[in-house]
């Protein structure tokens, strides 16, 4: 994913330079009586820029998932997690707004192409799901790590988990990913517990 993001960013940069030089090259060819180069630079520019942004954001979301989902709840650095997810939400929202603006602009949407618009939808499916999981799990992680969290609340939240595991064992080995997969958290029902 990282290599793909770097390649699209590089491509976007190179196409931008080509687009800047294209009018001069076209004029020189016309002066020499040669056939102009026929390429769809505006379309290539839009496609490269959009895919560079989307793939770079996708990479950041995957990095966040890899960094936090396999961490034990007792080891989570709340300040860093809250900061990273907050930044991720802001950047992701900005990127989605830019893509929506491009798709709403009929000329840019045409340059992007119908096939690429569909590819973007598929490409954004996993990041959409991961960002939704982060947003559901983050308040639960904050609440469970709170010093004021009562034992009774832990028991309420974790009641459906492995009955043979003690509460202390569960606290020690519970991963953030485990919280994300608990049906209570996944369905947003945890709010009534706190």
Would you kindly state where each structural domain of the chain is located, as residue ranges?
A: 2-192
Contact in structure between 42 and 112 (CB atoms under 8 Å): no
DSSP class of residue 75 equals G
Tell me, what's the pLDDT at 94? Answer: 94
Mapped onto helix, strand or coil, the DSSP state of residue 147 is coil
pLDDT in tens, the chain (194 residues): 667 777 777 777 777 777 677 677 667 667 777 666 666 677 778 888 888 888 889 889 999 999 888 898 888 898 999 999 999 999 999 999 998 998 898 888 888 888 888 888 888 888 999 999 888 888 888 877 777 766 666 666 666 665 566 667 777 788 888 877 775 555 555 555 44
Strand partners, 122: none
**Residue 27: partners with Cβ closer than 8 Å, 6 or more residues away:** none
pLDDT in tens, 144-160: 777 776 666 666 666 66
Contact in structure between 67 and 77 (CB atoms under 8 Å): no
Question: For the whole prediction, is pTM greater than 0.85?
Answer: no
């Amino acid at each position: 994913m990282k290599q793909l993001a770097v390649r699209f960013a590089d491509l976007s940069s190179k196409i931008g330079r080509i687009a800047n030089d294209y009018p001069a090259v076209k004029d020189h060819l016309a002066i020499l009586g040669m056939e102009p180069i026929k390429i769809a630079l505006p379309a290539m520019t839009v496609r490269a820029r959009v895919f560079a942004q989307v793939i770079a954001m996708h990479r950041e979301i995957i990095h966040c998932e890899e960094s936090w989902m396999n961490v034990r709840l007792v080891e989570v650095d709340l300040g860093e997690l809250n900061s990273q997810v907050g930044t991720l939400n802001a950047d992701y929202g900005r990127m989605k707004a830019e893509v929506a603006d491009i798709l709403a602009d009929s000329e840019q949407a045409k340059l992007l192409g119908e096939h690429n618009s569909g590819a973007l939808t598929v490409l954004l499916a996993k990041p959409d799901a991961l960002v939704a999981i982060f947003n559901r799990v983050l308040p639960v992680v904050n609440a469970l790590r709170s010093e004021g969290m009562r034992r009774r609340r832990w028991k309420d939240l974790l009641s459906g988990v492995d009955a043979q595991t003690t509460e202390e064992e569960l606290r020690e080995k519970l991963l953030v990913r485990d919280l994300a997969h608990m049906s209570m958290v996944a369905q947003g029902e945890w709010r009534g517990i706190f």
